Amino acid sequence: MPKLKDIARFTTPVDINDERTTPVTSSMVKPGLTFTETVRSILGRQTQPLSVLEITELVSRETKRPYDETYIRLALKELQGAGKVSSRKETSQERAIRGGGESNAARSMRASLFWSPAGIVPPRTVAEAVSGLTLFKPEQFTARKIYKYSTKKIQREHLDAQLNSVAPVPPTNSNAVVDYLIEKMVTERTAEIQSQLDAANAKLAKLQELFKSAL
């Protein structure tokens, strides 16, 4: 048998103006865009196909959060898989345009250009599609003089330095060099002979002691 409170629940009239009883409809819910959809939305408002670097800069500016290029690449890959974004490699001419006419731009690696909605990617016609962001910037540097030396000269200087640290430099004229070498050889030979003589004298002294003890 049902209780009185259960009967009252089914029989009590509902006030449709009461906010507490008003059902929540889907039209009242405003879900936020996912990050991937945010990337697609930002790219879809552009008038030029953009590289990953440029898309990363735009997304970081609009969301006020510093994003890494890898994160943007993952979002673009997901969008391409869903058929919402298309891409292609830029031509050498487009690379040069993006580089502001720099001669090195056309010879460097070409970037991928992304476009939304998916379809044919239009040609890139301007260098600065994102305000303040360019592919190449002029380098600021102070010119310095670079001195070049021959390899043989460097080797000779190193050899001379090593010789100077081991022995004095002999005279430069040929006769003096010969005299210097002879004197050096005589000195070394004399020292060797003196060493042998000292060893022989030591042995002779021992023999004499043995003879004296034997007598």
Q: What are the structural domains, with CATH classification, of the chain?
A: 35-115 (1.10.10.10), 151-198 (no CATH)
Whether omega for the bond prior to residue 117 falls within 30 degrees of 0, making it cis, is: yes
pLDDT tens digits for 174-213?
677 777 788 888 888 888 888 888 888 888 888 877 777 7
* Predicted TM-score (pTM) of this structure: 0.49
- Residues whose CB is less than 8 angstroms from the CB of residue 92 and which lie 6 or more positions away in sequence, other chains included: 106, 110
Give the DSSP H/E element, type plus range, for residue 86. strand 86-89
pLDDT band at 29 (very low <50, low <70, confident <90, very high): very low
pLDDT tens digits for 68-106?
999 999 999 999 999 999 999 999 899 888 877 665 655
Amino acid making up residue 54:
E
Residue 195: what pLDDT?
82
Residue 133: what pLDDT?
86
Q: Pick from 88, 90, 92, 89: which is nearest to 104 by CA?
A: 92
Give the DSSP H/E element, type plus range, for residue 206. helix 174-214
Using DSSP, state whether 47 is helix, strand or coil: coil
